[in-house]
């Protein structure tokens, strides 16, 4: 077994974004590109030496190649053991579960989440730490600095490992164990929810159910949990075979990218409960007959009903939401008299709060929800939680549960508008225009609502005191409304501008489902302040969720 040090240029722009390093596959295919980044991770994570690393991804194109390279590099970097999902597969929440269960010192999760895959699509890599969650900013910053000075990487020569064969083998002194990618995760979820009650619900003839795996990683997980363990008909899990290019689709579970499911449940009312998950299995979309559940509302409803699930029967310690997520969960936290935290966008900011026991549930408006069972968001977890909820509230529907929730806590109308692949200079110009206007905004009005604050969101981590600045521009009208603007940190083409709109309506008599109309004054105000459409020449957002 010979170890080699291979010279490599240091590549520009290997800066982990909201969720790891994401680039076009063609960028990752440049000789030394993946290797340089992985070596930078190993250099910045000395804890991995002599310990266990978890490795797997969402099965997209380049996943298997990357795994073979990383295995040979791990052996050259003194890692004792690597746990790899069979076929190179590990959903993001499953990777988190495996890291925690096997007390690994860290993990490399290979995914570009919901971004399209295939030779012309995206690839990504993310380092997770021993708690199972994404490395905090201090670590990702250190990795980035290291990529700028790196000159060589370490690798051993070895034959490719058969990733399809469960069991252990050696690369030099390092053990590679190919594990079932579903086992640990399924066992963990099995302990959180009332499987008997869910099984009875799914067996009912009048309960029409469908889960769409979008040809991405959740297929095998959904089959195990929903079909094998909970008895749902095999036909209720659709697009269940993971494909390297996700069947050419955009594996993002929202009304725009899962239009068939949306039509069947929301527009045609053919399903009582429908759900979908994304490329790497951490996102979820929840639909009922005639209604799409806003992710922010989903977090609020789960928090309000948490004790109905056995794993949370003793109550929840607190909740957290990312800043752009609507304040629906805050209302529940007030009623439950628990803490509610507002963090910057990205799951890595929840880790400390979860580790410290300050929160049990957390979520983001971007179709992400989870709890302290892992340190990632978890798509199927949310699906099972909703099924548990429906099973525990017989006679109710997704819609009636939401309506009862809004009646009690008020409704937070919410929408996000994305302008994708915008020229980076134009995107910055639009945001700079709003940023410059911020100091003068308080006291002005949007529709009839008075602006009470306007700032660039900064976060001080309550656990370790670390500061994160520049996390999004906020215009706030007290508890009534908010408008937020920020640049995406996950795109791979130009810049994506995200505008978020939120409006609170306490009166149940005025809570009709006319979301975009209700938000129009905020939408107009955003355009007036940023000039985004004028600057970019775009007539409308590319994606509205
Ligand atoms: C997006 C979402 C964010 C999520 C991230 C990873 O990041 O907005 O909530 O954590 O994907 O799934 P963004 O592209 O906005 O930086
Ligand atoms: Zn994802």
pLDDT in the model for residue 513: 82
pLDDT in the model for residue 472: 97
Dihedral sign, Cα of residue 326, residue 327, residue 328, residue 332 = positive
Enumerate residues 6+ apart whose C-beta is below 8 A from 115: 22, 121, 122, 124, 250, 279, 490, 492
pTM of the model: 0.95
Same domain for 337 and 206, yes or no, is: yes
pLDDT in the model for residue 216: 96
**Beta bridge pairs of residue 3:** 156
Q: Which atom of ligand 1 is the closest one to the Cα of 346?
A: 10
Same domain for 75 and 60, yes or no, is: yes
pLDDT in the model for residue 489: 86
CA 93 to ligand 2 centroid distance, Å: 9
pLDDT in the model for residue 49: 96
Same domain for 74 and 13, yes or no, is: yes
CATH number at residue 41: 3.40.120.10
pLDDT of 227 higher than 90: yes
User: Given pLDDT bands bounded at 50, 70 and 90, which one contains residue 2?
Assistant: confident
Q: 290's torsion region: left (phi>0), alpha (psi -120 to 50) or beta?
A: left
Query: Which residue has a Cα nearest atom 10 of ligand 1?
Result: 346
| Cβ–Cβ under 8 Å, residues 114 and 250 | yes
Greater confidence (367 vs 19) lies with 367
pLDDT in the model for residue 142: 97
Query: Which residue has a Cα nearest atom 13 of ligand 1?
Result: 488
Q: For residue range 268-318, what is the model confidence (pLDDT) as tens digits?
A: 999 999 999 999 999 999 999 999 999 999 999 999 999 999 999 999 999
CA 68 to ligand 2 centroid distance, Å: 23
| Total tally of structural domains belonging to the chain | 3
Mean pLDDT of 252-266: 94
CA 200 to ligand 2 centroid distance, Å: 30
Same domain for 240 and 365, yes or no, is: yes
Active-site annotation holder among 19, 113, 277, 326: 113
Same domain for 158 and 233, yes or no, is: no
Mean pLDDT of 144-166: 97
113 flagged as catalytic: yes
Which token pair is 135? 């490395």
CATH number at residue 474: 3.30.310.50
Q: Which atom of ligand 1 is the closest one to the Cα of 345?
A: 9
Same domain for 160 and 263, yes or no, is: no
Task: Check if 121 has its Cβ closer than 6 Å to any atom of ligand 1.
Answer: no
User: Given pLDDT bands bounded at 50, 70 and 90, which one contains residue 491?
Assistant: confident
Same domain for 147 and 189, yes or no, is: no
| Cβ–Cβ under 8 Å, residues 399 and 290 | yes
Task: Check if 22 has its Cβ closer than 6 Å to any atom of ligand 1.
Answer: no
Task: Check if 370 has its Cβ closer than 6 Å to any atom of ligand 1.
Answer: no
The number of the ligand nearest the C-alpha atom of 350 reads 1
pLDDT of 382 higher than 90: yes
Q: Which atom of ligand 1 is the closest one to the Cα of 18?
A: 16
Query: Which residue has a Cα nearest atom 3 of ligand 1?
Result: 346
Same domain for 444 and 400, yes or no, is: no
High-pLDDT (> 90) share of the chain, %: 96
Q: Which of 373, 391, 409 is the last residue of a domain?
A: 409
Q: Which of 181, 206, 222 is the last residue of a domain?
A: 181
pLDDT in the model for residue 492: 78
pLDDT of 1 higher than 80: no
Pocket test for ligand 1, best of 15, 345, 485 (most atoms within 8 A of CB): 345
Same domain for 195 and 281, yes or no, is: yes
Same domain for 211 and 317, yes or no, is: yes
Mean pLDDT of 136-143: 94
Greater confidence (16 vs 162) lies with 162
What letters, b where the CB count within 10 A reaches 16 and e where it falls short, cover 375-403? bbbbbbbbbbbbbbbbbbeeeebbeebbb
Q: Which of 135, 165, 181 is the last residue of a domain?
A: 181
| Cβ–Cβ under 8 Å, residues 22 and 115 | yes
How far apart CA 338 and CA 326 sit, in angstroms, is: 17
Sheet holding 339-343, edge to edge: 339-343, 318-322, 361-364, 368-371
Whole domain around residue 161: which residue ranges? 3-181
The number of the ligand nearest the C-alpha atom of 485 reads 1
Same domain for 206 and 288, yes or no, is: yes
Same domain for 288 and 369, yes or no, is: yes
Q: Which of 370, 393, 389, 390 is nearest to 188 (CA)?
A: 370
Q: Which of 217, 19, 246, 215 is nearest to 116 (CA)?
A: 246
CA 512 to ligand 1 centroid distance, Å: 29
Residue 467 burial (10 A CB sphere; 0-12, 13-18, 19+): exposed
pLDDT in the model for residue 212: 97
User: Given pLDDT bands bounded at 50, 70 and 90, which one contains residue 19?
Assistant: confident
The number of the ligand nearest the C-alpha atom of 111 reads 2
Q: For residue range 21-75, what is the model confidence (pLDDT) as tens digits?
A: 999 999 999 999 999 999 999 999 999 999 999 999 999 999 999 999 999 999 9
Task: Check if 360 has its Cβ closer than 6 Å to any atom of ligand 1.
Answer: no
| Cβ–Cβ under 8 Å, residues 473 and 438 | yes
């Amino acid at each position: 077994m010979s170890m080699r040090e291979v010279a490599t240029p240091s590549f520009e722009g290997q800066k982990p974004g909201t969720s790891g390093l994401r680039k076009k596959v063609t960028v990752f295919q440049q000789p030394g590109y993946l290797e340089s980044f992985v070596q930078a991770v190993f250099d910045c994570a000395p804890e991995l030496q002599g310990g266990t690393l978890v490795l797997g991804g969402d099965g997209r194109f380049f996943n298997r190649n990357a795994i073979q390279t990383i295995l040979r590099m791990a052996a050259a970097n003194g890692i004792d053991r690597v746990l790899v999902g069979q076929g190179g597969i590990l959903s993001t929440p499953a990777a988190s579960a495996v890291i925690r269960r096997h007390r690994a010192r860290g993990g490399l999760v290979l995914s570009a989440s919901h971004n399209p895959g295939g030779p012309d699509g995206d690839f990504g890599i993310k380092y997770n730490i021993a708690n199972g969650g994404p490395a905090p900013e201090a670590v990702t910053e250190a990795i980035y600095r290291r990529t700028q000075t790196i000159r060589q990487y370490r690798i051993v020569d070895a034959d490719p490992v058969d990733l399809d064969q469960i069991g252990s083998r050696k690369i030099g002194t390092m053990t590679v164990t190919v594990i079932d990618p579903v086992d640990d995760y399924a066992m963990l979820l099995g302990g959180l929810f009332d499987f008997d009650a869910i099984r009875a619900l799914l067996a009912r003839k009048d309960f029409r159910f469908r889960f769409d795996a979008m040809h991405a990683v959740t297929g095998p997980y959904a089959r195990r949990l929903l079909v094998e363990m909970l008895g749902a008909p095999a036909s209720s899990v659709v697009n269940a075979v993971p494909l390297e290019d996700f069947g050419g689709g955009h594996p993002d579970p929202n009304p725009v990218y899962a239009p068939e499911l949306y039509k069947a449940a929301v527009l045609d009312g053919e399903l009582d409960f429908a759900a979908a998950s994304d490329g790497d299995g951490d996102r979820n979309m929840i639909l009922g007959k005639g209604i799409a559940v806003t992710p922010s509302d989903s977090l609020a409803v789960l928090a309000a009903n948490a004790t109905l699930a056995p794993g949370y029967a003793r109550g929840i310690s607190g909740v957290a939401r990312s800043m752009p997520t609507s304040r629906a969960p805050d209302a529940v936290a007030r009623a439950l008299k628990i803490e509610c935290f507002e963090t910057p966008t990205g799951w890595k900011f929840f880790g400390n709060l979860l580790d410290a026991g300050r929160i049990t549930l957390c979520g983001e408006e971007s179709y992400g929800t989870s709890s302290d069972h892992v340190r990632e968001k978890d798509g199927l977890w949310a699906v099972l939680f909703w099924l548990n909820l429906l099973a525990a509230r017989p006679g109710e529907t997704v819609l009636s549960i939401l309506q009862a929730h809004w009646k009690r806590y008020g409704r937070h109308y919410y929408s996000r508008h994305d302008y994708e692949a915008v020229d980076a200079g134009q995107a910055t110009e639009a945001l700079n225009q709003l940023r410059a206007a911020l100091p003068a905004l308080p006291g002005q009005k949007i529709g009839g609502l008075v602006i009470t604050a306007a700032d660039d969101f900064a976060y001080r981590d309550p656990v370790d005191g670390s500061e994160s600045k520049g996390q999004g521009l906020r215009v706030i009208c007290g508890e009534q409304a908010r408008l937020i603007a920020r640049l995406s940190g996950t795109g791979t083409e130009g810049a994506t501008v995200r505008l978020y709109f939120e409006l609170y309506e306490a009166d149940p008599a005025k809570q009709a489902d006319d979301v975009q109309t209700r938000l129009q004054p905020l939408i107009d105000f955003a355009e007036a302040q940023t000039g985004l459409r004028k600057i970019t020449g775009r007539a409308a957002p590319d994606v509205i969720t």
